[in-house]
């Protein structure tokens, strides 16, 4: 393979452009082709990139392009798996935005095929790859926390239901898969990725189906919110094989202050993600340290782009394979299933795939 990774983008909306910009800005990455069902979106991004792109309305045609080595999938949740499956079936490397899927069975199907195809398969996770989360991970590796036995993770918005794509609010969308996924993934990863054994939770929709709680207190037309078919809040508790527990919450709308936080409870130390704070006891006294992450450090998007390109071109180990997205999806879906059934969900019974 050449020293430059030739990349295509499926879905040139918000997240497609965000990932695309940074993949293109990397010294060894180059966006060469775009795909969207809305041609004007591709035209706008082509203009921004400043050079002609090959443009496709159907992702199968992009996947068949022999001048493309790797593809980013940035479509609504419901199209992640079909698009990513087309990529791996074409033998190309794939990076997929979060969540991996809109459901557990399709997530399993994708991971099976991606791993069998032997291509690089990676999740684009802007919270996990953020400089604050990477700093905490370094502290975990250095042993600051000791054993982490408990975590709390939450994403709380005041009025933040997406109003720009029906995929967010129809079945397969929802607050938990959209924002819960970020903090759940970050907390689980920092806790050392223990194997989940059970989950319990509640979920519902208290704002979206009533035309309330939309992004920045906007009022989308009734035809939009009449199609509401997902949760706008969910809260759950996940139990792990190593005895650890994780409380996770996600609210797209609420009568509460905005918050995005991960808290880690370790035998030797504790810590928070935003801001990064480390808590321990030294010589019998509490020692609390606030870490100021330098603004000059690589952003999450830059780190995602560099890691994907390095993993493909250098054959280095991927720190966020789709398999991680699958474990997170299993936890998300188990919490939602628990809400539907009113019972605790045993992950081994719920997920017919070894995690």
Residues of this chain that bind ligand NAD (CB under 6 A): 10-16, 35-38, 41, 59, 74-77, 79, 97-98, 124, 126, 164-165, 178
Minimal distance, residue 162 CB to ligand NAD, in Å? 7
3-class DSSP state of 217: helix
| C-alpha span between 270 and 146 (Å, rounded) | 9
In terms of CB distance, is 29 or 74 closer to ligand NAD? Answer: 74
| C-alpha span between 115 and 137 (Å, rounded) | 26
In terms of CB distance, is 48 or 267 closer to ligand NAD? Answer: 48
DSSP readout, 54-84? EEESSHHHHHT-TT--EEEE-S-HHHHHHHH
Q: Are the beta carbons of 202 and 251 closer than 8 angstroms? A: no
In terms of CB distance, is 9 or 148 closer to ligand NAD? Answer: 9
Minimal distance, residue 303 CB to ligand NAD, in Å? 12
Cα 57 to its chain centre, rounded Å, is 25
Q: Are the beta carbons of 177 and 332 closer than 8 angstroms? A: yes
Instruction: Give the list of residues 6+ apart from residue 141 with CB closer than 8 angstroms, or none.
Output: none
Name the residue whose CB lies closest to ligand NAD. 13
Cα 330 to its chain centre, rounded Å, is 13
Minimal distance, residue 198 CB to ligand NAD, in Å? 26
In terms of CB distance, is 162 or 194 closer to ligand NAD? Answer: 162
In terms of CB distance, is 124 or 139 closer to ligand NAD? Answer: 124
In terms of CB distance, is 179 or 345 closer to ligand NAD? Answer: 179
In terms of CB distance, is 15 or 238 closer to ligand NAD? Answer: 15
Quickly count: other Cβ atoms within 10 Å of residue 350's Cβ: 16
Structure tokens at 273: 């993600």
Q: Are the beta carbons of 262 and 190 closer than 8 angstroms? A: yes
Minimal distance, residue 287 CB to ligand NAD, in Å? 33
Minimal distance, residue 210 CB to ligand NAD, in Å? 23
In terms of CB distance, is 35 or 108 closer to ligand NAD? Answer: 35
In terms of CB distance, is 37 or 197 closer to ligand NAD? Answer: 37
Quickly count: other Cβ atoms within 10 Å of residue 352's Cβ: 9
Q: Are the beta carbons of 29 and 7 closer than 8 angstroms? A: yes
The H or E element that residue 113 is part of is helix 104-117
Minimal distance, residue 10 CB to ligand NAD, in Å? 5
CA torsion, ordered 191, 205, 123, 145, to nearest 10 deg:
-10
Quote the radius of gyration of the chain (alpha carbons, Å): 20
Minimal distance, residue 99 CB to ligand NAD, in Å? 6
Minimal distance, residue 112 CB to ligand NAD, in Å? 21
Angle between helical axes of 14-25 and 300-314 (0-180°, round to 10): 60
| C-alpha span between 217 and 161 (Å, rounded) | 9
Minimal distance, residue 37 CB to ligand NAD, in Å? 5
């Amino acid at each position: 393979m050449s020293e430059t990774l030739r990349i295509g983008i499926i879905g040139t909306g918000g997240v497609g452009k965000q990932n695309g910009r940074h993949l293109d800005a990397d010294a060894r990455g180059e966006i060469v082709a775009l795909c969207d069902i809305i041609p004007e979106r591709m035209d706008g991004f082509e203009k921004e990139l400043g050079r002609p792109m090959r443009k496709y309305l159907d992702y199968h045609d992009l996947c068949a392009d022999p001048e493309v080595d790797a593809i980013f999938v940035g479509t609504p949740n419901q199209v992640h798996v079909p698009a990513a499956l087309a990529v791996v079936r074409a033998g190309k490397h794939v990076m997929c935005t979060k969540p991996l899927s809109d459901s557990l069975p399709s997530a399993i199907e994708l991971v099976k095929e991606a791993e069998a195809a032997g291509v690089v398969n990676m999740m684009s996770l802007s919270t996990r790859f953020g400089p604050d989360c990477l700093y905490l991970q370094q502290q975990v590796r250095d042993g600051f926390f000791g054993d982490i036995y408990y975590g709390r993770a939450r994403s709380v918005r005041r009025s933040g239901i997406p109003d720009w794509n029906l995929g967010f609010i129809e079945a397969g969308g929802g607050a938990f898969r959209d924002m819960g996924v970020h903090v759940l993934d970050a907390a689980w990863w920092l806790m050392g990725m223990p194997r989940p054994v059970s989950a319990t939770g509640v979920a519902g929709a208290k704002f979206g189906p009533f035309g309330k709680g939309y992004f920045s207190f906007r009022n989308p037309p009734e035809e939009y919110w009449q199609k509401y078919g997902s949760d706008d809040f969910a809260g759950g508790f996940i139990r792990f094989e190593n005895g650890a527990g994780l409380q996770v919450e996600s609210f797209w709308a609420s009568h509460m202050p905005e918050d995005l936080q991960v808290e880690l409870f370790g035998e030797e130390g504790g810590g928070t993600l935003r801001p990064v704070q480390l808590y321990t006891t030294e010589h019998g006294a509490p020692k609390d340290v606030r870490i100021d992450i330098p603004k000059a450090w690589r952003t999450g998007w830059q780190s995602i782009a560099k890691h994907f390109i390095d993993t493909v071109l250098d054959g280095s180990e991927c720190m966020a394979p789709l398999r991680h997205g699958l474990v997170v999806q299993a936890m998300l879906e188990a919490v939602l299933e628990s809400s539907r059934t009113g019972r605790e969900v045993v992950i081994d019974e719920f997920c017919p795939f070894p995690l």
